[in-house]
Structures are given as C-alpha cells and as structure tokens.
Structure 1
Amino acid sequence: MTQHTTGTREEWIAARLALLEEEKALTRRSDELARKRQALPRVRVDKAYRFETETGPASLADLFDGRSQLLVYHFMFGPDYTAGCPSCSSIADGFDPIVVHLAHHDVALVAVSRAPLDRLLAYRRRMGWRFPWVSSGGSDFNADFGIWFTEAQQRAGDIAYNYRRERALDWRPGTEDTADAAEARMAAMCGTDVPTFHRDRPGMSTFVLDDGVVHHAYSTYARGLDGLWSMYQWLDRAPLGRNEQDVWWRRRDEYGDD
C-alpha cells in the first residue's frame, strides 16, 4: 500500500484549496470539451439498419421513440456469448436508473448488442435492469460503428478500434502473463474464448433526428467510456483510488459473501 503523509487540519485545508483550483480548471476544460464534442460535424445515416426490439422490427429512427436525440451504448454481448460482458454490465448498472430522466429531456438511451433478442432480455431480467435493449444481429450496424470485427480481420491485423489500427491477435492459451490471464477470465465469464470475446467491443454513439433524417454525431470507445462508468468516478475519489492490480469486479449478482 502506498505510504501517505499525515498533517494538521490547517495543512489539509491548504493542500485541499490548492487541489480545488486544479479541479475547477479540469471542470472548465471538461465543459470546453463538451462544447467541442457537440460542435462536431454530423454525418447523415442513409443505410437502412434494422433492429429486433420487444415490439418488433425497428429502424434506427424508430429507436428515438419520439425524441430528437439518441444515445446508444454498444454492449458487448455477441451471439456466441452465454452472458453479457462483466465490464459492460457494471457500466449498465450505472446508467439503468437515469434512462427515465433522459427520456424527459428529449434523449433516448438504448443498448445495442449482436446477440439474439431473447437472450438479451433474459439477461436483462437476471440483472434487474429496465433500459431498452435491442438486437442488431444480421445488420451492419456494429461493424459500421467500429465495435464488431470478423475473425479474418482479427487474424490479419485489420482491426481499427478507437480510431487506431491494432496488430493481429496473437493469443497463447495457458500463458501466465497477467494481462492475458485477465483476458481469459473475462472471456470465460461470457462463456467464450478470448478471440471470440474480442471481436465485439464496447462503445457509445450518439445520433440526432432532424426532419426525419438521422445523423451520427459522436462515438467514443475504450477509456473514452470512463466518464460513463460510475463505479470508477466514485473510486477516483476514494482514499486509495482505483487501486487495481487485476480485473477484480464481477457482475453484481456474482460477488457472494467475499
């Protein structure tokens, strides 16, 4: 454990006030980035994507559900998974309760995955969530928005995720390397192997509906999702911070008594 100094209340106040100035600067910078995010050029979406929903087939425009803005969480749950990604599940634990608030602010929030709808809804029931969740299986939606890749792309090093090209996956089962071991555990928690697990990726995309025409406004991936992962926002303010050596979290119904 990292050693920390102790001090008087006066010393703490002085240090806290100095840190407060930095926090305020970060908040102002975050506000500036939000304005730049909203000012990105929007791209018209002409492809006719189809989704399976609880009320039947739907278009991308239908997912707005009467609102002018749509937030899509790209939830890692491929057709070969037996359960949703634990990391995505932790993020969903945070956004599930706010969907109703967003809906009353002209914003729809929907999770989209490639797994069949019945499997998504069964998992949603297990986790006790209520947010809309639709299946994009059979459409190009996940591939077009950079969160699903083929085995051929994976083997050829032809994956561009988070706006960067990745090398070909060189997975060695049985390795003792910590990162590889963590990847194997995450894949096993989804009932699949590492290569299959990694063909689906997490992300968030936003869309705008203007005069019946859908436009893509923004997408973020990987560490760009940190701000949406409420667990980490709390840990970043805990005395020991994230304090991580490995993948420690589980789905919230898997912790048991430990």
Structure 2
Amino acid sequence: MGDVQVASREDWLTARKQLLAGEEEAARRLAELAAQRRALPVVKLEKEYVFDGPEGKVELLDLFAGRRQLIVYHFMFDPAWEQGCKFCSYLVDNIGHLSHLYARDTTLALVSRAPLAKIESFKARMGWSLPWYSSYGSDFNYDFHVTLDEAVAPVEYNYRDKATLERTGGQTRGEAGGLSVFVQDGGAVHHTYSTYGEGAALLHGIDNYLELTPQGRPLIQDKAGWLRHHDRY
C-alpha cells in the first residue's frame, strides 16, 4: 500500500464527500472555459496550404473530408527523424473511434513536417489508420507555431515570444506539439482555436484513467524517462 492512508469506511466517506465538492466546482469551471472557447471569434485564412497525402497533393479544405469542422493535431516529426515523437504517439494511441467525431460533422487529422514516405512507414508500424498528411515544404507548421525556426519565421510558442520563452526556459527551436481547430463555411476556412504543450493534456486518456488511482498520472518530466512507443515496451 506504500504511503496510502488506511481509514474506516465512515472517515473515507467524509473525505470523499469533501473531494466531491471540489470535483463539482472544477467541473463547473471547465464548463465555463469550454463556453468561452466556443465563443472565441474566428480568423479567415487567406493563405493556401498544400499537403502531401495518400491521394496526392491536397489543400487544407480537403482535410475536412466534406465535414464542417476539422481538428488538426500537429504531430512532431522532423524530416530528419526516422520515427515520430513518443509523446505525440502516446496521444494518438489514446484517440478513440473516429466515427463518433464524424457523427458530429468533425474530422480529425494529423499533420507533420516529415515527408509522406516516413509518415506512412511509421503509421504502419504503429498500426494507426488516422488520416495523416505531410506539410513538408509549406509554411503551415511555421504559421501555426509548431516548428520554431527564427530563420523562417519569428519564434512564438504557446502565445509567448522568443524573449519570454528564453526568460522562462521555454523551447525556442525545433518541433513542438500542438493542436489547431478549423471550421469551413462554403469553402472558406477559418481558424478557431489552437493549444500547445500541456494544453492538450485532456486528450491523454490513459493519464485521465491514472488520475483516478492512488499513484496518479506521471508528470511530464517523469514520463520522459519511461515512456516508449507502444511497440517498444
């Protein structure tokens, strides 16, 4: 049992009801934040982006696959790497059946800067079937601040500029994780939301299960030591 405290059923129930009050308050706050997120204004995209996919060259509108909403997970996969990021892989392993998203007129796709051949090879190795596109050669990763290279675009990550990132010990170069949401109306694509780093933590379903246990979920700095691609445990 380690450091777990043993108590009577009565004492446990008292403590559990106290925790329940905090959980309900947190749920209310999360609902408020979700409403604020839905109420964000949108930005019409004027630039055209071209991606490489299994069907050939496609534009951002094509990634919607005929649906109104699109969620893009910016999967970290540098063109020089031979495999995708293990943290991004952990997130993708937690994605459920896409039919539930499709039923809500929403498409989910992965986008990485690695060439399509590397993406397809790694995708097959992981046993994934999600739509996955290469943004190699386009500005997409730079414009959405998930590839940081001052020679290409001003460095910004999680809405912080380079000076702030340097002052706070943040990343200022290379591939970075993130997620962006788009909506299309009559063929016009609008950017509605992006989140970065721990902002996508809610998508780590396994972590949410582990948070229900006495040991809890591993911290990101601890996860770096033990996390593997699922075929490497």
Please say whether Structure 1 and Structure 2 have the same fold, judged by a TM-score greater than 0.5. Answer: yes
Identity %: 44
5 Å-filtered alignment, 1:20-169, equals: 20-95=20-95, 97-150=96-149, 152=151, 159-166=155-162
* 1:6-65 deviation digits (Å, cap 9, x = unpaired): 210111111111111111111111111111101101000010100111111111111100
1:221 corresponds to 2:196: yes
- Over 3 Å counting, the alpha-carbon distance change for 1:16 and 1:209 in structure 2 is same
Residue 233 of structure 1 aligns with which residue? 208
> Would you say the 8 A contact 1:151–1:199 is kept in 2?
no
Question: 1:236 Cα deviation (Å)?
Answer: 1.5
Runs of 4+ in 1 over 6 A off after TM superposition: none
Say how many residue pairs are matched: 226
Deviation at 1:99, TM superposition (A): 1.8
Report the Cα distance in structure 2 between the residues aligned to 1:123 and 1:233, rounded to whole angstroms. Answer: 26
**Paired residue secondary structure (1:67):** coil
Deviation readout 1:150-201 (Å, 9 max, x if unpaired): 26479xxx5221111345999xxxxxxxxxxxxxxxxxxxxxxx99xx5111
Q: How does 1:203-214 map to 2 (within 5 A)?
A: 203-214=178-189
Further displaced range: 83-92 or 14-23: 14-23
The one-letter amino acid of 1:200's match is E
SS at match of 1:82: coil
Q: Distance in 2 between matches of 1:232 and 1:19?
A: 19
What secondary structure does 1:206 align onto? strand
Q: Distance in 2 between matches of 1:77 and 1:167?
A: 25
Q: Give the secondary structure class of the aligned counterpart of 1:98.
A: coil
1:101, CA displacement in angstroms? 1.6
- Describe how 1:6-25 pairs up with structure 2 within 5 A: 6-25=6-25
CA contact (8 A) 1:44 1:213 kept: yes
Aligned match of 1:200: 175
Point out the more displaced range, 68-77 or 15-24. 15-24
Gapped regions of structure 2 (runs ≥ 5): none
Asked if the contact 1:114/1:135 (under 8 Å) is kept, the reply is: yes
The residue that corresponds to 2:230 in the other structure is 252
Tell me the SS of whatever aligns to 1:48: coil
Give the SS at the match of 1:115. Answer: coil
Please show how residues 184-195 of structure 1 align to structure 2 within 5 Å: none
TM-score (ref. length: structure 1): 0.82
Residues in 1 aligned to 2:164 and 2:183: alpha-carbon distance in whole angstroms: 35
Does the 8 Å contact 2:207/2:218 carry over to 1?
A: no
Structure 1: runs of 5 or more not aligned: 171-193
Change (3 A) 1:162 1:169: closer
| Mapped partners of 1:134, 1:159: distance in 2 | 24
